[in-house]
Structure 1
Amino acid sequence: MTPAKTSPLPRLTVSQNHRFLTTIDGKPFFWMADTAWQLVHALTREEVDLYLTNRASKGFNVVQTVAIAEHGGLRENAYGHRPFLDNDPAHPDTRAADDYWNHMDYVIQRAEEQGLYVGLLPTWGVHVTKDYHDGIVNGVFTTENAEAYGRFIGQRYREASNIIWILGGDRDAPTDTSKAVWWAMARGIAIGVTGREDYSDILMTYHPAGVGTSADFFHNDEWLDFNGVQSSHGVLIKSDKVVGQTYVRTPVKPVIDLETSYAEIMMGKQTEPVTDDMARRSAYWAVFAGGCGHTYGHTSIWQMFAPNGKRTRGMAGATTPWPKALDAPSAAQMGHLRKLMESLPFVTRIPDQSIITSDTGKQGDHLLATRDQEGTYAMVYSPTGGAFSLNTSWMTGSKWKAWWFNPRDGKANAIGDVPRSVEQKYSPPTQGEVQDWVLVIADSNLAFPAEEH
């Protein structure tokens, strides 16, 4: 067995206030992930390079993928290799000189070279429990082999500092037996990485079924460093609700929407696909509601859809070949969101609807506000360009400046100096269904790069 080489990327940890992620040397880390569930199983190495290069260029810093994928994960990958002997997770197949796990090594190493962290699911949840919600353990994983597999994969990637471990995989864990399997896998990973059951040197979360939150099953467990939620799919996903409900749980832990409304997805009773604007709106709602980052998705990319391809089936409305979908407008717009958040001291940021003194709107018009606890800035997201009134009397300093940030192109329109006021009305530059804007007000003594976009 050949473990992945040491990564120069710093390991990630939870911030001191338990609301955000930072590097181990204290640098704030805003999670901006892409969903690539079938990446490891479906793509060749040349295709892996195409995907990772594109995602790094778009401003993503995390890629979420799966070692044992949902679709065909127990069968041959793009090179004809299987992960296990006789489909037994306790016996990974490492007989060949270039086997299934060598390809996994390649993905992780190439991601690191592109400056990307890997949110790695050791397995998709269907291989533990087939139903999304009932928690009946009826897959190939059991408590016994889950720990053995966890030790294997943890030891293999113990030196890969760009891995964030994500258990689950679109499955709830409401039963003791299902919880026991995930506990065993977490324990195995910890032992594989550190040589003992020590979770302090690894970062781990859980990806539940939608709409759902890991807090419902594992919030108090020592291996769960931050909560993962799934706001799920559709044309009007209120990601702020599930993020906000998880944000207020105690003890305090960071929260990220790990799966939300994929661009172009068509599911269930939908009569129209999700647009780029809807996917973007879900991202801003989730982050402004308290998320310490966000995970974007496109229905053609998570499955690596290719027309007439041998490894994909065109599920959930996929019609765009995945290489073309890489350049969907909403993908680049995730980079704009990351730049906006990183231009401000976001580790002290909190959600705060109380600063909006007018009606916050309903459905697709719902306004969200976030601000700095230190009183240095405030931001309000207006998804359709609706006007609103804002209380800034709590802000520190003697002078403030403001600008409108455009989530569609990442540019900012300066407003100039603004007063500190109990109630001041603001009207975005344009209005309409796809005319979302962010108002940013900041202490004039602070220099924020967002002004220069």
Structure 2
Amino acid sequence: MKLLRIILGTLILFFGTQANAQSGWKNGRLRVSADGHFLETTNDRPFFWLGDTGWELFHRLDFEEITKYLDDRYAKGFNVIQAVILPEFDGIKKPNRYGSVPLNQFNIETPNPRYFELVDTVIKMAAARNMFMCLLPTWGDKVTPNWGEGPVIFNEKNAYTYGKWLGNRFKSDENIVWMLGGDRPPQKDTSDWRPIWRAMARGLQEGTEYKAFITYHTWAGEKSTSQQIHKESWLSMNTMQSGHGGGHDVPVWKWIDRDFKLPNPKPTLDAEPNYEDHPVNPWPKWDPKNGFFDDYDVRKQCYRSVFAGGCGVTYGHHGVWQFYSEREVPITHADRSWTSGLDQPGAFGVSYLRKLIECRPYIGRIYDPAMIVDGQGEKGEFITAFRGKENDYAMIYIPVGKTIKLNTKWMKSSDIKIWWWDPRLGMVVRGESVYRNDIMSFTPPAKGVGQDWVLVLDSPEFQYRPPGK
């Protein structure tokens, strides 16, 4: 008990000293760009969403561990942390590391203040590290009785009350994004849970004085929020989940392109690609006999979704999202602890992706697969390409190293700068300037499976620095 009091005292002290952390928050709130496809902040800065799935953060970590996790993700360049307030795995009945459950007497209308003090603190810790918290008010099994531990506790009335309470409690915290859902569909067959989510969204909007940015974490498969709730006025951004159940090279680039072309556009992103070190097998078996997704799988899905028009992407590691440790039973064959999973190469690979995208003007970029004249492949060899809206540069992700031919008529300069970017190392390995032809061949520094490359083409008149700088 003495140790618990010391830890709780540390939390309270930290919360008190960090109470004004938001005054140092310079980013403003998240909002949609004027063209409807990308993200920016209310201080007019473009924003590339690089998220990390920390679903069980509030439920399974203590203050010291949370600090370690946030420090690591900040150092790697993540700027969004996705976490669940009412978590999936017995999150209603099983207390957090400080003995607190989120609801008094398991009643959604009586939140436990002590549990939410930790949520308060983490939000301010993230703000101090220049990161947004993407908060799920609840995991979807508390609304949708299809599968999961539940229990189902929400209806339209208490969903609105809970949403308004959350919105009002956190209305001054500008580094919050709200994500409804939680791996569940808003509608399926004859069942329709949209009225409940709609009520929760209305509560969040009213509680935040209509300042809330709200999205939805949808379910796995060839599904996107655009298919069921794109027209909902409360939805700020579409998401999809290319996930872990479809094997290798699920065509997420097609889904992104589909969403991008919708009327009344909204930004879209893959909010859950394959988790690094997750078994490669169809849901729900998750049998590890076929191996595990590695960093190469992660890069292919993340780069191709972004290059096809995604406003960002969320990475996940199979040990980290569940915060697996010796204290917990591993979920779906987690093969390493969360602390061991922090430094897996996939996390570095997506951090390099953010640096690459942000090194050129990316609001308004144009997905242009027609640029590829020769060398396009399918599945694991599918190439994605985009160019800047001023025809000032282009980036082409080549998942399997090989010679390709590109149409460069869109670039009006007589010369062209060519850079080969290594997504495994996050650096340029070759650069040159040559005379530009309308059709040009390009050969990467190395060929074959596992040798993925980004080809960057610059118009010399814009005098861009080498990629990633």
Amino acid at match of 2:389: Q
* Correspondence for 2:5: none
* Correspondence for 1:103: 118
Within the alignment, does 1:410 sit opposite 2:410 as a pair? no
Q: Unpaired runs of 5+ in structure 1?
A: none
* Correspondence for 1:184: 199
Within the alignment, does 1:371 sit opposite 2:387 as a pair? yes
* Correspondence for 1:222: 233
Q: 1 CA distance for matches of 2:295 and 2:87?
A: 26
* Correspondence for 1:440: 456
Within the alignment, does 1:392 sit opposite 2:408 as a pair? yes
Within the alignment, does 1:174 sit opposite 2:187 as a pair? yes
* Correspondence for 1:314: 330
Q: 1:68-106, CA deviations, whole angstroms, 9 ceiling, x for partnerless residues?
A: 111121021111101112222122122xxxx10001111
Amino acid at match of 1:236: D
Amino acid at match of 1:109: K
SS of corresponding position for 2:52: strand
Q: 1 CA distance for matches of 2:323 and 2:98?
A: 16
Determine if contact 2:21/2:128 at 8 Å carries over to the other structure: no
CA drift at 1:398: 4.1
CA drift at 1:336: 0.6
Q: 2 CA distance for matches of 1:368 and 1:22?
A: 24
Alpha-carbon spacing, 1:421–1:398, altered in 2? closer, same or farther (3 Å): closer
Amino acid at match of 1:286: S
* Correspondence for 1:339: 355
Q: 2 CA distance for matches of 1:221 and 1:155?
A: 22
Amino acid at match of 2:141: V
CA drift at 1:418: 3.1
CA drift at 1:59: 0.9
Percent identity for Structure 1 against Structure 2: 35
SS of corresponding position for 1:416: strand
Within the alignment, does 1:129 sit opposite 2:144 as a pair? yes
* Correspondence for 2:315: 296
CA drift at 1:118: 0.8
| Number of residue-to-residue matches in the alignment | 437
Determine if contact 2:356/2:468 at 8 Å carries over to the other structure: no
* Correspondence for 2:84: 66
Q: 2 CA distance for matches of 1:53 and 1:249?
A: 38
Q: 1 CA distance for matches of 2:294 and 2:368?
A: 28
Determine if contact 2:164/2:207 at 8 Å carries over to the other structure: yes
SS of corresponding position for 1:441: strand
Amino acid at match of 1:326: L
Moved more, 173-182 or 29-38: 173-182
Determine if contact 1:6/1:159 at 8 Å carries over to the other structure: no
SS of corresponding position for 2:309: coil
Amino acid at match of 2:213: L
* Correspondence for 1:244: 257
Q: 2 CA distance for matches of 1:318 and 1:138?
A: 25
Determine if contact 2:56/2:83 at 8 Å carries over to the other structure: yes
* Correspondence for 1:88: 107
Q: 1:106-135, CA deviations, whole angstroms, 9 ceiling, x for partnerless residues?
A: 1111111111111111111011003269xx
* Correspondence for 2:129: 114
Aligned-residue CA RMSD in angstroms?
A: 1.9
* Correspondence for 1:37: 55
* 1:350 pairs with one of 366, 382, 387: 366
SS of corresponding position for 1:118: strand
CA drift at 1:239: 2.3
Alpha-carbon spacing, 1:186–1:370, altered in 2? closer, same or farther (3 Å): same
Q: 1:139-161, CA deviations, whole angstroms, 9 ceiling, x for partnerless residues?
A: 11111110110011111110111
SS of corresponding position for 2:455: strand
* Correspondence for 1:56: 74
Q: 1:237-282, CA deviations, whole angstroms, 9 ceiling, x for partnerless residues?
A: 3321322222222211110110110000014366110011111111
Moved more, 154-163 or 233-242: 233-242
Determine if contact 2:134/2:176 at 8 Å carries over to the other structure: yes
Runs of 4+ in 1 over 6 A off after TM superposition: none
Determine if contact 1:393/1:420 at 8 Å carries over to the other structure: no
Within the alignment, does 1:146 sit opposite 2:165 as a pair? no
Q: 1:327-362, CA deviations, whole angstroms, 9 ceiling, x for partnerless residues?
A: 111111111100000001000212110111114101
* Correspondence for 1:165: 178
Alpha-carbon spacing, 1:64–1:357, altered in 2? closer, same or farther (3 Å): same
Moved more, 68-77 or 182-191: 68-77
Determine if contact 1:376/1:397 at 8 Å carries over to the other structure: no
SS of corresponding position for 1:357: strand
TM-score computed with the length of structure 1 as normaliser: 0.92
Determine if contact 1:369/1:381 at 8 Å carries over to the other structure: yes
Q: 1:7-58, CA deviations, whole angstroms, 9 ceiling, x for partnerless residues?
A: 2132111111111101112111111111110011110011000000000001
Q: 1:160-202, CA deviations, whole angstroms, 9 ceiling, x for partnerless residues?
A: 11111111010101167400000000000111111xxx3xx22
* 2:300 pairs with one of 234, 256, 281: 281
* 2:440 pairs with one of 424, 432, 438: 424
Q: 1 CA distance for matches of 2:79 and 2:463?
A: 24
Amino acid at match of 2:74: A
CA drift at 1:407: 0.4
Q: 1 CA distance for matches of 2:297 and 2:62?
A: 31
Amino acid at match of 1:203: F
Within the alignment, does 1:204 sit opposite 2:214 as a pair? yes
Q: 2 CA distance for matches of 1:451 and 1:108?
A: 33
Q: 1 CA distance for matches of 2:352 and 2:36?
A: 25
Alpha-carbon spacing, 1:27–1:398, altered in 2? closer, same or farther (3 Å): farther
Q: Unpaired runs of 5+ in structure 2?
A: 1-14
Determine if contact 2:256/2:305 at 8 Å carries over to the other structure: yes
